[in-house]
A = this chain, B = another copy of it.
Amino acid sequence: MDGDIQRLQADLRHFAEERDWGQFHTPKNLAASLSIEAAEVLECFQWLTDAQSYQLSDEKRQEVGHEIADVLLYLLQLADKLAIDPLAAAREKLAINAAKYPIDRAKGTSKKYTEF
């Protein structure tokens, strides 16, 4: 259980209720919105090399921060609608990945990764 995340989810619920936006926030629409916002994160890096992606200007870094925030806000709303605990799900998935990619076999290769 995560206090900060639950508080943020409650605030998002309140935010949508005050604006009567629940009608738009179907799980399907929230999933589409998640995908749209994730693409906006990617857009920040669209023409950068991998090396450049480590050296963002302050302005660009703030822009990425806002886009990451948008993704997180939709993620928390979608999880809330479906009664999924996002941190517990992440912990569970990390354990699955640890079993799927044993250190000795996965070390230094992105091969197995394609099954992610």
Is the CB–CB distance between B110 and A21 below 8 Å? yes
Q: Are A35 and B38 in contact (CB under 8 A)?
A: yes
Q: How far is the CA of A21 from the CA of B108 in the complex (A)?
A: 6
CB <8 Å contact, B68 and A45: no
Chain A residues packing against B (C-beta within 8 Å):
2, 4-5, 8, 11-12, 15, 18-21, 23-24, 26-29, 31-51, 53-54, 56, 61, 64-66, 68-73, 75-76, 78-79, 81-82, 84, 86-87, 89-94, 96-98, 101, 103, 106-108, 110, 113-114, 116
**Can you sample 6 A-B contacts with CB below 8 Å?**
A15-B97, A24-B113, A27-B56, A35-B36, A69-B94, A70-B116
